[in-house]
Structure 1
Amino acid sequence: MAINIKNDRVCDLIRRASELSGRSQVSVVEEALERYLADASSGPDAGPGGPDPGVERILAQIDASLTPTDSDAVRASLEDLYDDEGLPA
């Protein structure tokens, strides 16, 4: 089976990954797809309707930008919203 990629940016990314790794273009694409599928199929929110990776990345950036005091305040606020079983209080 053959695949013809007609996206210059994707072709460039594949080429760069191949050069950096010293592996074939097919092997870097295969590994990237295997990693993507493993990430997409793991965790409690996996599958259709799971979290958007873009949203997850933004939330991680926000979390990283919070001071410890701000982070503690957010956690305390969230704890007030849910009971010990994770249900709305």
Structure 2
Amino acid sequence: FTTLGPIEAPPYYAAQIESGALGTKGGPKTNEKAQVLRATGGVIPGLYAVGNAMAGVTAMVYGGAGGTLGPGMTFGYIAGINAAREPDHIA
């Protein structure tokens, strides 16, 4: 993570963090076919991720209200096409 750094000296503070529905700011990485990639880089057969269930295509930038709709629809379409081509691998 390029935004994380060491916390070397006090004072220390804490904040409660909860999940939300506005992008994952992480999540599984995918390739151009919306296939989920293993940590080693290989494809997990039959597993696709789109929208807020995948790593954001905008990286650490927030595009504003509705900013995840376009990538969600686009990768949903891409995943559907590619999943239909591999019916034996659908998880």
TM-score when scaled to structure 1?
A: 0.31
Structure number with higher relative contact order (C-alpha < 8 Å, ≥ 6 residues apart): 2
TM-score when scaled to structure 2?
A: 0.30
Instruction: From the two aligned structures, give the one with the greater helix fraction.
Output: 1
Instruction: From the two aligned structures, give the one with the greater strand fraction.
Output: 2
